[in-house]
A and B are shown apart, each in its own frame.
Chain A
């Protein structure tokens, strides 16, 4: 697997070869620095650790400073691990850029969805609600209805879908087409939407 950390910049649209207007998301992809190399001999599995987005030294603690100093780089905000990194051998301090993506290939994008707060079952689980508003109905249009039988089992089953905190979940969107790569500006444009708000960190995998 190959991966890169990025930032969702926003959505726009581009015209494809047929002249159709295609919705797309612009992602600032990298540049990421390799900050640690994990091997099966030492850590028990193969992976590389990559870091993205500079932060000030005064916002980092001593452990972070030391860790980034080993890779001869500045402190970074976001650090992830990519298991079984494909491609050539990486060394500490190596740069990974948007050049690893090509136009037309497929990528997966991982992000955290926008938090929606406490939501009812209609929004959270796609319940249909009660349907009509007449025939004596009132105050139950978006209610979940029955959550179980009476004396048998005389309890509510675990996992019953109810209202609650919605969004703010880690989500992977699979198979997004890379429409454009602007390697000099570290930008890639993928077709469709990507989880999270503008400026949110995303992980691009392929």
Chain B
């Protein structure tokens, strides 16, 4: 269904965001409508996975809020998505980090990928 993918990309717009992957710590700015008013909400956490592809791609961000794990799924093509800021590059060995749900505290840390951090600084 490659032909269909190109059609999809024509009827749905995809904004450009910096490259990120599972394990990275990101800050997502997301527009929220409250009645008439519109404001931008921040959601900061670890990316657990990127799912699907093309205009249908989504990513899951997990954070611990008041001791409770909170996960949010953002569609990459959502018009409400304003900005994705990468705060930390994580060094992980798999594409989907669901094991983080069972870990807490020190066990749920992710090593930082310093190599990537320097690359980013050079660029």
Contact = CB atoms under 8 A, between A and B. Distances in A.
A and B from one assembly?
A: yes
Given A10-B1, A15-B77, A19-B80, A182 B10 contact: yes
A187 B7 contact: yes
Contacts of B7: 9, 26, 185, 187
Nearest to A180: B11
Q: How large is the interface on A (under 10, 10 to 19, 20 to 34, 35 or more residues)?
A: 10 to 19
A21 B75 contact: yes
Contacts, number: 37
B109 interface: no
A12 interface: yes
A15 B78 contact: yes
A9 B79 contact: no
A118 to B, nearest CB: 30
10 contacts: A12-B4, A12-B11, A12-B55, A14-B11, A19-B79, A21-B75, A21-B78, A180-B11, A182-B11, A185-B10
Given A12-B55, A26-B11, 11 more contacts: A9-B4, A9-B7, A12-B8, A12-B12, A14-B12, A15-B12, A15-B78, A19-B78, A26-B4, A180-B11, A185-B10
Interface of A: 9-10, 12-15, 19, 21, 26, 180, 182, 185, 187, 189, 198
